[in-house]
Amino acid sequence: MSEDTIFGKIIRREIPADIVYEDDLCLAFRDVAPQAPTHVLVIPKKPIPKLADAESGDKELLGHMLLTLKSLAEEMGIAEDGYRVVINTGKNGGQTVFHLHMHLLGGRSLQWPPG
C-alpha cells in the first residue's frame, strides 16, 4: 500500500525531505536525484498507488495538484521559459514508488522523446 512507501513516510515526517510546499491535500519536495536544475515532486496526502488507481472522486485532488505544480513553477522562476510535468504510471511507465506523484522538471532545455 502507498502508506508504506517512502512518500508515505515523508508525509508522516518519519524521514526528512526538502519540503517546498504543503497544504491539506498535497505535499511538494525536491527530488533527491534531480534530473533537471528544478526537480520537485508533488504527492497527494491521500494514498493512491498510481494514476490508474485514481477514481472520479479524485478529480478535485488531481486538479489541485496540477495547479500546485503551476504555482511552484512560477515561484521557482521556470514558468516563463517552460517546464515539464511527468506522471509515471506502472512498472513499464517507469514508476518506482507506488504512491501517485507528479514530477515538475525545469531550469534547462528538455529533450523529446524523454527516453
**Whole-prediction pTM:** 0.94
CB 28 within 8 Å of CB 21? yes
Question: Which pLDDT belongs to residue 115?
Answer: 60
Is the confidence at residue 1, as pLDDT, over 70?
no
> Per the domain annotation, does 6 fall within a domain?
yes
**Among 39, 99, 101, 103, which one carries the catalytic annotation?**
101
Q: What is the mean pLDDT of the chain?
A: 95
pLDDT digits (tens, 9 = 90+) for 74-106: 999 999 999 999 999 999 999 999 999 999 999
State the total domains in the chain: 1
- What range defines the domain where residue 85 resides? 2-106
CB 87 within 8 Å of CB 102? yes
Residue 3: which pLDDT band, with cuts at 50, 70 and 90?
Answer: low
Is the confidence at residue 13, as pLDDT, over 70?
yes
For residue 31, give the CATH number of its domain. 3.30.428.10
**Is 101 assigned a catalytic role?**
yes
